[in-house]
Amino acid sequence: MKPLARIPVPWGWYLGIVGLIVVSVAVSASMLSLVPQQMPARVSSGLVALGGSYSPPMSTGTLIARVTAGPLLVLIIAAGISLLISSQSARLQQNYPEASAVAVGRRWAFLNNVQSCLGWFSFFTAAILVVSSIRLNSPGFVSTIEMSAYVVCIVVLAWALLVSLRRGQILIDRALPVGEDDTSLKWGLIYHNPADPRVFVEIDSGQTTVVNMARPASWGLVVAMIIPAIFIVGLVVYVS
């Protein structure tokens, strides 16, 4: 069997995220230079006398940290996953010596499909986070419509990712037809078999363990993983 090539990391997209971070730092620094760091004593005392208070703008470091936290986190996670995919792709034959050539080929093609989508998805996610973070931390007013637009962009981007993964999986299925133990895979990606009482199912002759999404317990696992992520995102938005 011919050795499989190592799947390359999409460094171009990740360098683009680095560029976004650099731009966001420059924008944050210039934005603070346009805002006075402290108000005149007479105006400040007058606000206090009227029952108000004055809080000077945040420091440059704090603003930069808030603006760059999102894209930096995306970069670290995406690059880490890409490096793991690249490393695993070169060792598939060693890791699964009992698997058939078709099974190993499908695994490699699936990893390559994910890798090809991960780069652009991470870049545009980081871009949305940069723009929204700058707007949320800028002196200007951010309307509900504008915030809704950011949410819609994220939803559309996630949908585009699913469509791209699905199209890639269709090409894989045409080139390397699925085996008998893959017949319960919906869209070629998710195991869904109501007749199977198991939550964790082994496919590919025991080489792969998947979650049966037809079982209620599986959705409980998904919710348990999503809730902490939603909490963290909500906390970041609230603090910002």
Per residue in 117-140, pLDDT tens?
999 999 999 999 999 888 887 776
pTM for this model (two decimals) = 0.71
Kindly tell me the burial class for residue 52, based on how many C-beta atoms sit within 10 Å of its own C-beta (0-12, 13-18, 19 or more): exposed
Question: Taking the domains of the chain in order of start, what are their residue ranges?
Answer: 11-177, 179-240
What's residue 40's pLDDT? 44
Cβ atoms of 46 and 39 within 8 Å: the answer is no
- Taking alpha carbons only, the member of 141, 140, 137 closest to residue 60 is 137
Query: What is the SS3 assignment for 210?
Result: strand
Question: How many Cβ atoms from other residues are within 10 Å of residue 221's Cβ?
Answer: 14
H-assigned helices in 41-100:
41-49, 60-89, 92-95
Question: How many Cβ atoms from other residues are within 10 Å of residue 6's Cβ?
Answer: 14
Contacts of residue 125, defined as CB under 8 A and 6 or more positions apart, other chains included, come to 74, 154, 157
Predicted confidence band of residue 43 (pLDDT cuts 50, 70, 90): very low
What's residue 123's pLDDT? 96
Locate 22 and state its tokens: 């650099």
User: What is the amino acid identity at position 213?
Assistant: M
Tell me 207's DSSP state. T
**pLDDT, tens digit (0-9, with 9 covering 90-100), for 223-232:** 776 666 666 5
Contacts of residue 178, defined as CB under 8 A and 6 or more positions apart, other chains included, come to 106, 185, 188
